[in-house]
Structure 1
Amino acid sequence: MKIAVTYENGQVFQHFGHCENFKIYTVEDGKVTDSQVVSAVGSGHGALAGFLKEKGVDTLICGGIGGGARTALGEIGIDLYPGAAGDVDKNVADLLAGTLSYNPDTMCSHHHGDGHNCGNHSCGENKHGCAGNH
């Protein structure tokens, strides 16, 4: 099992579509055997789901996330735990213990101030999780 967590300064980053780093944990027999921070800079909204799949990730813990990204992750079989916050290592330990605090209904909570509403984007085509055109 590989778990990715949106990552910034040891904390769960709160906007999946703008995440520059993920901490990826390798889990065997219910225990973390390896972890590393990987850069996703340059991937953007549309490519983050594919980026995670290429890394072998099957589970994602994150803060806010838009509808397009949710759909893309679901289509490639990545289990999603949105609405998490705090220390990334603790979140992973809590997930493995079955005590993770998350909100399955959490949607993108970051509004850009330019009048668009996260989750209601139109890309004109499926861009593998595109959650907007920036």
Structure 2
Amino acid sequence: MRIAVTYENGQIFQHFGRTEQFKLYDVADGKIINEQVVGTMGAGHGALAGFLKNAQADVLICGGIGGGAQMAMQEAGITLYGGNMGSADEAVAAFLAQTIVQNENPTCDHHDHEHGEGHSCGDHSCGSHNCGNH
């Protein structure tokens, strides 16, 4: 199995479509057997699904990811764990321990307004605007 994580300075990069690097983890028998950081060579939104498919990724762990990219991951047969933050290595450890949360709405589609202080896309309660499915 190969796990890909959007990557920047050891952390999960928060904007899938602008990802410049992925950290790839090869896993066998529940253990990481190889890690490598690969550049996307400037591939943007639409090309990143193909990039990951060519890299033989089975799982993607990322921060925010738009609806089109989510569909592209599904079409490529890549299991998505979006809406994550923090250390890339810790996220993969959580995946292997089966404790990572699969966020059903890892992004917001309402960027026509100002987010309030502490607003977090994908895991919040909305009162005056429409956020995806909640």
Same fold? TM cut 0.5:
yes
- 1:20-54 CA-to-partner distances (Å, cap 9, x unmatched) read 00000000011100000000131111100000010
- 1:48-86 CA-to-partner distances (Å, cap 9, x unmatched) read 000001011010000000011001110010000001110
Q: Residue 10 of structure 1 contacts residue 87 of structure 1 at CA under 8 Å; is this kept in 2? A: yes
Give TM-score scaled by structure 2 length. 0.79
Report the counterpart of residue 21 of structure 2 in structure 1. Answer: 21
Instruction: Give the alignment's Cα RMSD to 1 decimal.
Output: 1.9
Letter aligned with residue 8 of structure 1: E
**How many residue pairs get matched?**
113
Q: How does 1:1-134 map to 2 (within 5 A)?
A: 1-107=1-107
C-alpha deviation, 1:102, in angstroms = 4.7
Letter aligned with residue 19 of structure 1: T
1: distance between equivalents of 2:112 and 2:52? 25
2: distance between equivalents of 1:68 and 1:42? 19
Runs of 4+ in 1 over 6 A off after TM superposition: none
Unpaired runs of 5+ residues, structure 1, are: 114-134
CA 1:110–1:46 in 2, change beyond 3 Å: closer, same or farther?
farther
Higher relative contact order (CA 8 A, sep 6+): 1
1: distance between equivalents of 2:80 and 2:62? 8
CA 1:18–1:108 in 2, change beyond 3 Å: closer, same or farther?
farther
2: distance between equivalents of 1:29 and 1:21? 26
1: distance between equivalents of 2:110 and 2:17? 10
Q: Residue 63 of structure 2 contacts residue 84 of structure 2 at CA under 8 Å; is this kept in 1? A: yes
CA 1:56–1:71 in 2, change beyond 3 Å: closer, same or farther?
same
Give TM-score scaled by structure 1 length. 0.79
C-alpha deviation, 1:105, in angstroms = 1.1
Q: Residue 11 of structure 1 contacts residue 85 of structure 1 at CA under 8 Å; is this kept in 2? A: yes
CA 1:73–1:30 in 2, change beyond 3 Å: closer, same or farther?
same
CA 1:59–1:101 in 2, change beyond 3 Å: closer, same or farther?
same
C-alpha deviation, 1:104, in angstroms = 2.4
2: distance between equivalents of 1:16 and 1:10? 15
